[in-house]
Amino acid sequence: MAQPRGRLRRGSKTKVGRRADEIRLAGGRQIQGIRVDAHLSQQQVSDAAGIPQPYWSRIEHGMADPSIAVLAAMGGALGAEVTIRFYPGTGPRIRDRIQAPMVEELVRRARGSWRSLVEVPVWRPARGVIDLVLARPGDIVIAVEVQSEIRRFEQQLRWSAEKAAALPSCEAWSMLSGGQPTVTISRLLVLRSTPSMRALARSFEATFATTYPARAADAVASLGDASKTWPGDAVVWMEVSAAGARILDRPPRGVSLGR
């Protein structure tokens, strides 16, 4: 079997390592709970599974990375079903090369009017990464999603809403909120103007308009002027070329969304 290129960083100080620790601890607690509920000792179940008792103990305490075969043996000894399942969250963290200049243009436009943070992780109730967060601390915080292409429209809307709702769980929340208990969280969806994206906007015009009712021109004006009130959830458009990205003051021709 081919090995992945590069080295997976799994230390406890990395995000992957911390998540692996959480999964190990949660799995160990489940195993221990089933065993204790059945009034069985570690020695009894480890003998039945053919696993050394010290190794079983390490697994229960989240200190070992058992193979799938070991987990299956443990499940058999406990009379428990073992499954591995990936639950859809708030979307992949992989970014395409088009998004970087789009984010750069937004940060440039907002400089002086908004505090900006790029790639902001959120943890609960949804886990994911917000492309860009703009804030006027103590007033309003905006979760910005930047999309050069949308393949699953309904899922994108759900991910955007869930990540915005999870913003108070980010490490920088006290700074973004200015320490205020009630701060408005808004959403901004930034779309690259392409034939397929414009066709998508026309196909789902009513849904887009309900989810992002503010005028694009008002949102763009507020991005660059601290004196202007943020209009609320909005969609704005960008053109991207070899020279970079350019934010549009109004929706592209043929698109009524955001007018």
- Supply the pLDDT for residue 81: 87
* Closest by CA position to 138, among listed 122, 103, 114, 118: 114
- Supply the pLDDT for residue 51: 94
- CATH 3.40.1350 in the chain, residues? 99-247
What gap in Å lies between CA 154 and CA 169, rounded to an integer?
Answer: 24
- Supply the pLDDT for residue 78: 92
- Supply the pLDDT for residue 87: 61
- Supply the pLDDT for residue 238: 94
* Closest by CA position to 74, among listed 97, 101, 42: 42
- Supply the pLDDT for residue 5: 45
Q: Which residue has the tokens 């070899």?
A: 242
Q: Which residue has the tokens 């007033």?
A: 139
Whether this prediction's pTM lies above 0.85 is answered by: no
User: What fold, for 99-247?
Assistant: Trna Endonuclease; Chain: A, domain 1 (3.40.1350)
CB 216 within 8 A of CB 237: yes
- Supply the pLDDT for residue 145: 93
- Supply the pLDDT for residue 84: 80
CB 107 within 8 A of CB 146: no
Half-sphere exposure of 111 (CA within 13 A, CB side): 6
Structure tokens at 123: 């943890």
* Closest by CA position to 132, among listed 189, 197, 210, 213: 189
Q: 149: which residues sit within 8 A by CB, 6+ positions away?
A: 96, 192, 194, 196, 197
Helix (H/G/I), strand (E/B), else coil: 231: coil
Q: Which residue has the tokens 């699953």?
A: 152
- CATH 1.10.260.40 in the chain, residues? 15-78
Q: Which residue has the tokens 């005028």?
A: 215
- Supply the pLDDT for residue 97: 76
* Closest by CA position to 69, among listed 45, 44, 49: 49
User: What fold, for 15-78?
Assistant: 434 Repressor (Amino-terminal Domain) (1.10.260)
Residue type at 164 in one-letter notation: A
Q: 154: which residues sit within 8 A by CB, 6+ positions away?
A: none
Angle at 32 between CA 41 and CA 26, to 5 degrees: 165
Instruction: Give average pLDDT by consecutive 10-residue segment, the chain, 259 residues.
Output: 46 71 90 89 93 95 92 92 71 66 93 92 87 92 92 83 93 91 93 93 91 94 92 95 90 78
Q: Which residue has the tokens 């849904």?
A: 207
- Supply the pLDDT for residue 89: 57
- Supply the pLDDT for residue 99: 87
